[in-house]
Structure 1
Amino acid sequence: MEQLSQIFLDFISTWGYVAVAVLMAMENACIPIPSELVLGFAGYLVFAGQMDFSGAVVAGMIGGMLGSIFAYYVGYYGGRPFVNKYGKYFLMSPSHVDTAQRWFDKYGIKAVFFSRILPVVRTFISLPAGFAKVSFKQFIFYTFLGSLPWTILILYCGMILGENWQVMRQVGHEASLVFVFAAAIALMVWYCYKKKRQN
């Protein structure tokens, strides 16, 4: 994995925004490439003056959206039997697909939105959305809304950490959970504030 990671980093160093888009597309197409690695390093390159923050966000979002759409259509047209049979050739873990399926079964289309900030689930949630043949417009809408804050957050963290950006690789999943916890608290505070003002 370490050798593959270095190949990905060299790819980003050489091809910049194109590489970020390609790798994020692969991750969101359910190929296990950590977004913390891709976006964290891109954030470092922003810190080093080799990338523009806005350009990196756009590249990450374009890649993420394209990969998500691909996974959605795999689920839509192939169904679970296709994924079970051929997923192993793309390093898809059945247990990861099962986890995403449980989230989708519990929360429906809204899972496509908030699962984008959750470890593992964010990569595979497009598949059960495709299995269920949810509205493509709704899928795109929730995917974009969920992916944008995650993309910005990881890029920003990589930029702020600078030469210490590799911390993102070590605490990536934990950072996701912290972000979820912080977002839940912020929503609760906002809700209480709004309710208080109404009274």
Structure 2
Amino acid sequence: MEQLLDVIVNYIGAWGYPAIFLGMALESACLPVPSEVIFGFAGYLVFLGRLEFAPAVAAGVAGGLAGSIAAYAVGYYGGRPFVEKYGKYIFLSAGHVAAAQRWFDRYGMKATFFSRLLPVVRTFISLPAGFARVDFIRFVLYTVLGSLPWTILLIYAGLLLGEKWAVIYAVGHRLNLGIAAVLVVAILLFYAKKRRTRSDRD
């Protein structure tokens, strides 16, 4: 893992925005590339003045969309049997795909948006969206809107932390869990309010 992190950091340091794009494309295409490192180090480069904040965010979102479209296409054309048979060759965990499938089965198209803030699920959610052959335009829209908060948050955190940007990776798992908890509560409150509104109308 340390060697992987060094490769990511060196590549982004050398190539900047294209490296951010490629790294996020790989992560969103279900490969084990940590977005915390990509965005955290990108934020550090913004801190140093070597990158600009808005283009870094744009590169991250665009890369995430490209990878998500690739995963969607695999799910759309190959289906779950294809992923289960050949996924192991590109480090696709059956358990992770199953978790993303459960999330999608429960929340449908909305999962494409909300899951971008969840650990593990955000990396694999495009596959069940492809399995279900959801509307492509809506899929793209939800993917972009869902990716923006996570991208902005991590790059800005790297900017604020400066030379201590690596803390983002160290606490990334806890941060993911915290965001997931807040998101779950928000969803529950939303549906509770929706049910009360329906009850009042009845």
Task: Output the TM-score relative to the length of structure 1.
Answer: 0.90
Q: Does 1:170 align with 2:164?
A: no
Question: Which position in structure 1 is the counterpart of 2:91?
Answer: 91
Question: Which position in structure 2 is the counterpart of 1:49?
Answer: 49
Matched residue type, 1:160: L
CA deviation string 1:90-120 (max 9, x = no partner): 1111111011011001111101100000000
Write out aligned runs for 1:150-169 (5 A): 150-169=150-169
Question: Which position in structure 2 is the counterpart of 1:37?
Answer: 37
Shift of 1:89: 1.5
Question: Which position in structure 2 is the counterpart of 1:79?
Answer: 79
Question: Which position in structure 1 is the counterpart of 2:200?
Answer: none
Matched residue type, 1:153: L
Question: Which position in structure 2 is the counterpart of 1:62?
Answer: 62
Matched residue type, 1:124: F
Matched residue type, 2:97: V
Shift of 1:186: 7.5
Question: Using the alignment, how far apart are the partners of 1:40 and 1:122 within structure 2?
Answer: 18
SS in structure 2 opposite 1:157?
helix
Question: Using the alignment, how far apart are the partners of 2:146 and 2:47 within structure 1?
Answer: 25
User: What 5-or-longer segments of structure 2 have no aligned partner?
Assistant: 198-202
SS in structure 2 opposite 1:159?
helix
How many residues are matched? Answer: 192
The worse-fitting range, judged by mean Cα deviation, of 61-70 and 164-173 is 164-173
SS in structure 1 opposite 2:175?
helix
CA RMSD in angstroms comes to 2.0
CA deviation string 1:135-194 (max 9, x = no partner): 1111111111100111101111111111111111111122123234456778869x99xx
Question: Using the alignment, how far apart are the partners of 1:97 and 1:186 within structure 2?
Answer: 24
